[in-house]
Chains A and B, each alone.
Chain A
Amino acid sequence: MKIYLKIWRQKDAASKGKMVDYTMEGIEGDMSFLEMLDILNEELITKGEEPIEFDHDCREGICGTCSLQINGRPHGPDTMITACQLHMRSFNDGDTITIEPFRAKAFPVIKDLIIDRTAFDRIQQAGGFISVNTSGHTIDANSIPIEKEKADDSFYAAACIGCGACVAACKNASAMLFTSAKVSQFALLPQGRVEATDRVLNMVRQMDIEGFGNCTNTGACEVECPKGISLENIARMNREYLSASLKG
């Protein structure tokens, strides 16, 4: 396949970026999208140019590191996968592909396609935990039976990989899906109920401080989420937030 690429290049956070054109030939369908970029980078290095920097690590769709906006969509045209799981068979000979970093005020660009997502860490630090010390003397794991359906729902919320696709997909750059997934994981479990009030208030406050936008129920986040995190989590967080606000 012959592929035409338009890729965002930016020297560092302080510099202005721009789209740069590249053409690639001999691309095979079995190649992953990132392997295609590897080949492009090898070509650039051979020519003595600086390769394109992009974040990636596990290359199997679980670490949440990759953060590419491909043809205007987070993680590209396929659904329920991350960019590293995308294969070139999803494209046709002669296609033009644009590649940009995830765009959001709270995710500043570090270099080329690499962004700073530490805002997500700070939201988690504000309350995304259960306050239990490591002692080896917590109660036996089976002493509190948990309804299977609730445990499963908690798992589905916990499956969030923190990639930021939800923010990149949202016209308001809202982090509601991300934040609500963590709030939900704990809200659905008896262990998490004890601190539910403070948790939701603190995490939402931090989300606002970081400069993420509000949720206007468009649902683009759910569509683009590589792990299928449901909008129900946002509804649950709103409910948790309301009842916490009344208590507080």
Chain B
Amino acid sequence: MGILDSKVPKGPLADKWTQHKNDIDLVNPANKRNIDIIVVGTGLAGGSAAATLAELGYNVKTFCYQDSPRRAHSIAAQGGINASKNYQGDGDSDYRLFYDTIKGGDYRSREANVYRLAEVSGNIIDQCVAQGVPFAREYGGLLDNRSFGGVLVSRTFYAKGQTGQQLLLGAYSAMNRQIQRGKIRSYTRHEMLDLVKVDGKARGIIARNLVTGEIERHSAHAVVIASGGYGNLFFLSTYCMGANVMAAWRTHRRGAFFANPCFTQIHPTCIPVSGEHQSKLTLMSESLRNDGRIWVPKKLEDAKAIREGKLKPTELKEEDRDYYLERRYPAFGNLVPRDVASRAAKERCDAGYGVNKTGEAVYLDFAAAIKRYGTEKAYTSGIKDPDADTVRQLGEEIIEAKYGNLFQMYEKIVDQNPYKTPMMIYPAVHYTMGGLWVDYNLQTTVPGCYSVGESNFSDHGANRLGASALMQGLADGYFVLPYTIGDYLSDDIRTGKIPTDSPEFEEAEKHVTERINKLMSGKGLHSVDYYHKKLGKIMWDKCGMSRNEKGLKEAIKEIAALRKDFWENVKVTGEANSKNQELEKAGRVADFLEIGELFAKDALERKESCGGHFREEYQTPEGEALRDDKNFKYVAAWEYKGEPKDAKLHKEDLVYENIELKTRSYK
């Protein structure tokens, strides 16, 4: 396994990062001016990396398919960002954040990376406040916190239900400052279609200008992939419509190993599917589980009556409700991690207790919280013996102040008032923990090619805790990559500008053009969406919340057949040399059709249940995930060998020196 060197520095866990920063090579300020870096993707990870690299003096080019860097899907993160500030004095520390993250990830992430993440988490909050990010504050003027799933402390910083948007606007403003100085050149409405390697090193990309259709060559001394996750291969997900795996997958095809593709997060609290026309799913923030109680009816006949519209949930007596999370997991209750909550919802719905027309929904109920807050408010306002209506009104006001925008969003979509009747929720694909394999320096197996944020695999193991995605994106971009990339670039100070007229660029551009021509020349039987929906159904049915050997084997066959059909029969309208959204989609779906098969292969290979990966064959008698540390305590990193079925597995053994491996329990 010599090929997979994680490059984790030696020494005690808490000293590794500081020691590493002291040991690595630096590039002097005058030389940074001669070095170019390409950053693909401008979400939290890419935006923060681009801004910081430009501040340091490098020449940065950023690429995003959106019309502005500010629109990357980090913007949709609602709930918050974790940091081990311990402002609440509730016993938080770097170690505890590290421990929670490793345990939450079901012991499938790298200790040193996760500890570093915890270590820099506090800096992120300091940096964002200095940038003018308007976090929520208490009346005393200090920052407020709330709790998220899978932890016993209150360490989540937030800006109402728009934390992702505010943090991204912070990174975007830092980028804007560098764009104004001429240190960043921002290419919007551009898509990376290939990675260019010269002498084995990443030296540039081929991009398509999505407005003119022009194919462009861009060179640099290093390339940073920050293009997010691949959850859109399920068709229905909480991802934005344009999210895709192209940059990461093209990099994989050029030699970067792809790690743990089957580790996908299915978020428990999303608005259920309403019909065939559905194009995407909407998340209801995990923060709602601070105050909402999740339940289904205790009796099958009640569930049936509710589904048929004969019974209202508010009419059901307390003793006829099954608060199944509180019942099964008394210690964490409604705040169990996402994988556990999602599986529990599926279990109840599969057993026939679902509460919407399709039988795939559970309740998230705020009645108890409204009463509790209302009573407290009446008491502090000096109202003696308040009646039920007063309590309700006061309570609803407090719930509105906390979650108003989420409640409004729910009402607009479902057409029901969640203050008066419980919300209906169901799990949906939300995040991918898998991604490009990177070492401690965030470098992929292609020298000079780095990956940050969701597009890499590094920190969340088999399950990500809530409010940790924003933390990782900004940690990678602001505080990790800008140091580690210098170590690599210190060898490049005399390289000079990378020419774009080399045979390597020529070959890559030719490859890209041929692929586009092939897409445009399909026989034209079915639209791109037709294939995307078919792929999504295979993925959801056979590679979703629970998986088994038979289903995965079928999925592999079906996806391969669908891919063949796609390349023969897809219909892409319009022209290649102009704005063409169908062509954009076609290129993305073509890649989903490849990674989907690798996903299933990876899930088949991992004969254990851990985190979001639940193999039906491997569970305890109580239906909990059964991990197999003896045989599967490794990162599965896949090497591209042509067809996904031929991908070659490399294993990075995970070493736990500071944490004792335990069965994850939230009971």
Contact = CB atoms under 8 A, between A and B. Distances in A.
A63 B71 contact: yes
Contacts of B282: 59-60
A4 to B, nearest CB: 19
Interface in A26-59: 28-32, 34-35, 38-39, 42, 44-46, 48-51, 53, 55-59
B143 to A, nearest CB: 6
Given A128-B176, A134-B48, A59 B279 contact: yes
A147 to B, nearest CB: 6
Interface stretch (B124-132, B253-261, B488-496): B124-132
Contacts of B415: 29-30, 87, 89
A62 B162 contact: yes
B622 interface: no
Given A32-B279, A87-B415, A130-B173, A53 B131 contact: no
B163 to A, nearest CB: 11
Interface stretch (A116-124, A172-180, A214-222, A235-243): A116-124
Contact of A132 (B131, B138, B139): B131
Interface string A134-145: 111011111011
Contacts of A50: 573-574
Interface of A: 12, 28-32, 34-35, 38-39, 42, 44-46, 48-51, 53, 55-65, 78, 80-81, 85, 87, 89, 110-111, 114, 116-118, 120-121, 124-126, 128-136, 138-142, 144-148, 151-152, 154-155, 158-159, 161-162, 185-186, 189, 191-192
A154 B166 CA distance: 11
Nearest to A191: B132
Given A50-B574, A136-B123, A130 B131 contact: yes
A136 B85 CA distance: 14
Nearest to B78: A62
Contact of B126 (A32, A57, A139): A139
Contact of B55 (A55, A134, A147, A152): A134
A134 B211 contact: no
B177 A158 contact: no
Contact of A185 (B120, B134, B479): B134
Given A117-B68, A121-B68, A31 B241 contact: no
Contact of B241 (A56, A80, A186, A189): A56
B279 A155 contact: no
A41 to B, nearest CB: 8
Given A29-B415, A57-B242, A155-B134, 13 more contacts: A53-B581, A57-B73, A59-B280, A59-B282, A63-B76, A117-B68, A125-B177, A128-B173, A128-B176, A130-B130, A132-B130, A134-B479, A138-B129
Contacts of A60: 76, 280, 282-283, 409
B134 A121 contact: no
B66 interface: yes
